[in-house]
Each structure stands twice: as C-alpha cells, then as structure tokens.
Amino acid sequence: MAFKLTTLKMRQQLGDILNRVHLRHDEFIIERKGKPLAAIVPVEKIEQMQHAARLYLLDVLNRKEKTSLSQSKADDLSNEAKHRSRKTKKP
C-alpha cells in the first residue's frame, strides 16, 4: 500500500520519507491539490519493473505470428496513425 503525501509534507519530511523507503520499503504517492504527481518507491521495485518489461518485450519479439506484415504495409499503417493523431478537431 502506498501512503499519500502532499508536496508540502514531502518537502518538510524528505529525510524521514527516504529512510522509510530505503529501510522499510514503504511507497509514497505525492499529490498536489488532491491529484497524484509522482511516486517515491524503492530502487529495487523500479529495477524489477524494468526487468519485467524487458522480459515481456523479448517474449513479444520472439513470438512467431502466422501472418507476417510486410514493411510497406507497416509503413502505411504507421503513416496513417501519424496523420490521424495530427488532425485537429473542428468545433
């Protein structure tokens, strides 16, 4: 469970918060006006997340799909997505 902190409280208690993260593996969500801005978590957790992401990516890249997408079709889809994301909405 992550503890919630305001930005002011985080500034006032930064040393204590860092000790709790390091020694007790506590996690904190820093909020401003009730909206989450950032998190303070142990470095080990970040490393685990990065390792899991790499394993997942390798798994996806190693899968053999039955249908293969040609380079030109992939380029066409990429260009279409790029142009759709750039179009502005008219009122």
In a domain, 12, yes or no: yes
What values do phi and psi take at 69, rounded to 5? -95, 125
In a domain, 81, yes or no: no
In a domain, 86, yes or no: no
Name the residue type at position 90.
K
Question: Are the CB atoms for 37 and 30 separated by under 8 Å?
Answer: yes
User: How do residues 58-69 score in pLDDT, each as one tens digit?
Assistant: 777 777 655 566
In a domain, 57, yes or no: yes
Question: Is pTM, for the whole model, over 0.95?
Answer: no
Burial of 31 (0-12, 13-18, 19+ CB in 10 A): middle
Higher pLDDT, 73 or 85: 73
In a domain, 67, yes or no: no
User: How do residues 3-52 score in pLDDT, each as one tens digit?
Assistant: 999 999 999 999 999 999 999 999 999 999 999 999 999 999 999 999 99
Show the domain range for 34.
Answer: 1-61
64: Cβ–Cβ under 8 A, 6 or more apart, which residues? none
